[in-house]
């Protein structure tokens, strides 16, 4: 995402070598911006901000447990627990969404 490359020059962490081209820089998964002299032109993007959400849609639940799993056991696996409705997994994986 383009917004991951919006960093103040002083926040830039070097991600290349002197004289790296824009193409080589981007190929390495880095950002390239040569507009500020004295700061890295090829730099690491900001990490994506993500968070885990428990999907409300029962159709998208992906089973993370086994029949009879307790809420504590389920949550200790990093999963979501909702003991309703019947017929769908009660312990299920959260979805990771980008902010």
Give the pLDDT of residue 48: 82
Spatial neighbors of 89 by CB under 8 A, at least 6 apart, are 61, 62, 63, 64, 65
Please indicate, yes or no, whether residues 88 and 56 belong to a single structural domain of this protein: yes
Give the pLDDT of residue 79: 96
Q: For residue 17, what are the domain limits?
A: 3-44
Please indicate, yes or no, whether residues 37 and 67 belong to a single structural domain of this protein: no
pLDDT grade for 1, boundaries at 50, 70 and 90? low
At 10, list the tokens.
Answer: 């002083």
In Å, how far from its chain's centre is CA 95? 11
pLDDT for 21 beyond 90: yes
Q: 99 or 46, which is more confident?
A: 46
Please indicate, yes or no, whether residues 32 and 67 belong to a single structural domain of this protein: no
pLDDT for 91 beyond 90: yes
30-89 per-position pLDDT tens digit: 999 999 889 999 999 998 888 899 988 999 999 999 989 999 999 999 999 999 898 999
pLDDT for 15 beyond 60: yes
User: Which CATH number is 29's domain given?
Assistant: 4.10.110.10
Please indicate, yes or no, whether residues 86 and 61 belong to a single structural domain of this protein: yes
Give the pLDDT of residue 11: 94
At 23, list the tokens.
Answer: 């193409």
Q: How many domains does the chain have?
A: 2
């Amino acid at each position: 995402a383009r917004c991951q490359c919006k960093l103040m020059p002083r926040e830039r962490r070097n991600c290349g070598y002197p004289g790296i081209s824009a193409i080589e820089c981007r190929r390495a998964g880095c950002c390239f911006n040569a507009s500020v002299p004295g700061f890295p032109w090829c730099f690491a993007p900001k990490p994506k901000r993500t968070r885990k959400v428990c999907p409300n849609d029962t159709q998208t639940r992906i089973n993370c447990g086994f029949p009879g799993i307790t809420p504590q056991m389920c949550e200790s696996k990093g999963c979501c627990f909702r003991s309703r409705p019947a017929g769908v997994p009660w312990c299920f994986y959260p979805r990771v969404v980008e902010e």
